[in-house]
A and B are shown apart, each in its own frame.
Chain A
Amino acid sequence: MQNFKQSFFNNVLLITGVLCLSTLILLFAGAPPVDAFKHLFLGSLGSWIKFTQVLMAWIPLTLCACGLVYTFRIGLWNIGVEGQVVAGAISATAILRMGVTSGMPELFLVFAFIGGLLGGGLWAVFAGFLKTKGGVNEIFAGLGLNFVAQAITLWLIFGPWKRPGIASMSGTEPFSSEMWLPTLSALRLSPSGLLLTIVALIGTGWVLGRTRLGLALKGIGKNPQAAYLHGLKPDIYMIFAMGLAGGCAGLAGTFQITGVYHRLIPAISSNYGYLALLVVMLANYRVWWTPGIAFFFACLNVGSIQLPMMLQLDSALSGIIQGTLVLGTLFMQAWQVKKKNE
């Protein structure tokens, strides 16, 4: 009870702090804070259309966050998630392009998701091999591969997959609508994407909380030496966790292709990979907290699109709020540990 009260008090303190800080930032930029917060709220939850936009951002964000929980559990900092989203998107596009003339769009849509899963997964497994066999820290390997994936995307858009006639930053030729992920007739919401994300969430929760695999990941994350002496092979589990994380990220990339953009664009990942890292950190690496925090972050992202139009502010305000929230949380956790030690 004492613990609960303490954490409740901390959260209230954190949210008030971040609110005050954002207000100060807005005042400093010469903008009316109340109006800005109002536009953030109305721009994300003000209507059903906005709400579905939030959900369409929530799907890839939560998928990436799900994957990251595996790698954080085993003690890996999978910063390469961004590149894994891109790798998944590229694989999905490749498969959809094969299916254009096949006459079986539904089948190839399913294949695209399998391909995206494998593409993202293999991209991550490569980083895992670099870590375990090549002695390359997963952070440096992941970062490097992010940029490589980005370069491959650009090359494909301007080279082999360019639009007939002109190649441009607007991306490849859009797919015909039979190859789009079906959406509800009135709203741009994809029920299958939503279902997939919920399945991934429950699956992640079950694997990590209820299976031997989850226990092994946790054990290795907490103490690799002890786990090794216990007969677990950290290397294999690390590669496996990377594969799972990459697979989830690849699904997110496939969703961006089939459900959102319907083509390959240079910024296909929409930075959801990096944002998902913040989500999982704020969730304190717990699975069941991620969907809520991802929803809040998606609200901020979608709502902030209003700021340039309504108040001539830059939409980066959402990122500032998200970043300060995570920094504040990290600070409080460290402060408590420090106090406990003294």
Chain B
Amino acid sequence: MNNLHFTILTASIVAGAAPIVLAALGETISEKAGVINLSLDGSILLGAMVAFATAYHTHSIFLGFLAGAAAGSLVACLVGFFSIYLGLSQVAVGFVLTLTTRDLAYFFGNPYSRIYGPQTGPWPIPVIHDIPILGPIFFQHSIPVYLSMLMIFLCWWYLYRTPMGLCLRAVGENPGAAYARGTNTRNIQMWYTIMGGLMIGLAGATFSLCTKPGWGRPQGAEGTGWIALAIVIFGGWHPVKAALGAYLFAFLQVMGIQLQGLFPTIPAQVFQVAPFPLMIFTLVLTHVAQKGRVYGTTKFPNILRHIMNILSSSAPAALGKPFRPD
């Protein structure tokens, strides 16, 4: 009995984290290339709305996902164009776009509010879904959830095991050197910003067609973008760590409901802001650790040093800084 409870709980964490994993991976890709896509909170909503509306009209969930991805990459394209080619502040453009795309989603989504539409059903993977415990946890989900798990591995492999990934990281760390070696840094940054946006759009589609089916104001995906942004930093710009962060958040979400039984006066939403203090804590820790390394004087207790080693990591060196190749 207890065992069954555990598997259901864990499976719901894996499923609930799917859109956050996708969004965090997308943002990681784009930040690894040196571009902060601050528009992701609005992009997710726009992706969700477009995906739901498309799936509703065409009766095709696949086309819905495609449309959501297109919406996400279009917004990312705007962020990239304004910041990479016109040299505007990435933060300013991203921030304005996050508000504008959110409003666009609400405005155009109005006729689709609270109506029943298509949604993905579970698709257990043959044979392996029968494995005890692991089967129900990992292999009895819908396709977007499998996609989110697959993407964690794919992103890690692409970033750290392929020449293209090396090029991507080089542009994010030192665009000047990459340029000197003959890389077209602007095009590379633009390309990965769009790819990141595509995954952010997919995250939105996963919300409206899978995790929280349907559209409305509020949809329920509000704030996910900011959480994903925090998770990327908390995960030290590493795809696997970021995904773990997303699962940790989904765990907190599920536990929030459980904890509310224990502390009835604390609303469940309070537990869900945990990623933000954790993000700030990670950044401070990273800063302190780096200072300690530079001066070599600060002594830390062993446990603290272990935590630091796990958490501390540095941002891509050229993150948010425009590079002019002239």
Instruction: Please give, as numbers and ranges, the residues of chain B lying within 8 Å of A323 by CB-CB distance.
Output: 96-97, 99-100, 103
- Bits for B230-257, please: 1 = Cβ < 8 Å to A, else 0: 1001000000000000000000000000
- Bits for B255-286, please: 1 = Cβ < 8 Å to A, else 0: 00000000001110110110011011001101
* CB-based contact B96/A134 at 8 Å: no
> A257 CA to B151 CA in the complex, in Å?
46
The residues in A between 115 and 141 inclusive whose CB is less than 8 angstroms from any CB of B are: 130, 134-137, 139-141
* CB-based contact A136/B280 at 8 Å: yes
* CB-based contact B277/A144 at 8 Å: yes
Q: Which residue of B lies closest to A134 (CB)?
A: B284
Q: A130-B284, A327-B97, A330-B93 are contacts. A148–B87 as well, Cβ < 8 Å?
A: no
> A141 CA to B93 CA in the complex, in Å?
19
Q: A159-B266, A281-B92, A327-B97 are contacts. A316–B106 as well, Cβ < 8 Å?
A: yes
Q: A154-B270, A159-B265, A335-B86 are contacts. A320–B104 as well, Cβ < 8 Å?
A: yes
Q: Give the 8 A-B CB pairs with smallest separation, nearest first.
A: A323-B100, A135-B287, A319-B103, A144-B276, A316-B103, A316-B106, A334-B86, A159-B265
Told that A134-B288, A327-B97 touch, could you supply 9 new A-B pairs with CB distance under 8 A? A25-B107, A139-B91, A140-B279, A148-B276, A159-B265, A159-B266, A312-B110, A323-B99, A338-B86
A125 CB to nearest B CB, Å: 15
Interface check A150, CB cutoff 8 A: yes
Instruction: Please give, as numbers and ranges, the residues of chain A lying within 8 Å of B106 by CB-CB distance.
Output: 314, 316, 319
* CB-based contact A150/B273 at 8 Å: yes
Interface check B82, CB cutoff 8 A: yes
Identify A320's interface contact among B95, B100, B217, CB under 8 A: B100
Using CB atoms and an 8 Å cutoff, list the residues of chain A in contact with chain B.
25, 28-29, 77, 79, 130, 134-137, 139-141, 143-145, 147-148, 150-151, 154-155, 158-160, 162, 167, 274, 277-278, 281, 312-314, 316-320, 322-324, 326-327, 330-331, 333-335, 337-338
> Residue among B87, B233, B276 with the most chain A CB within 10 A?
B276
Interface check B300, CB cutoff 8 A: no
Interface check B191, CB cutoff 8 A: no
Q: Which residue of B lies closest to A169 (CB)?
A: B267
* CB-based contact B287/A134 at 8 Å: yes
* CB-based contact B92/A330 at 8 Å: yes
Interface check B102, CB cutoff 8 A: yes
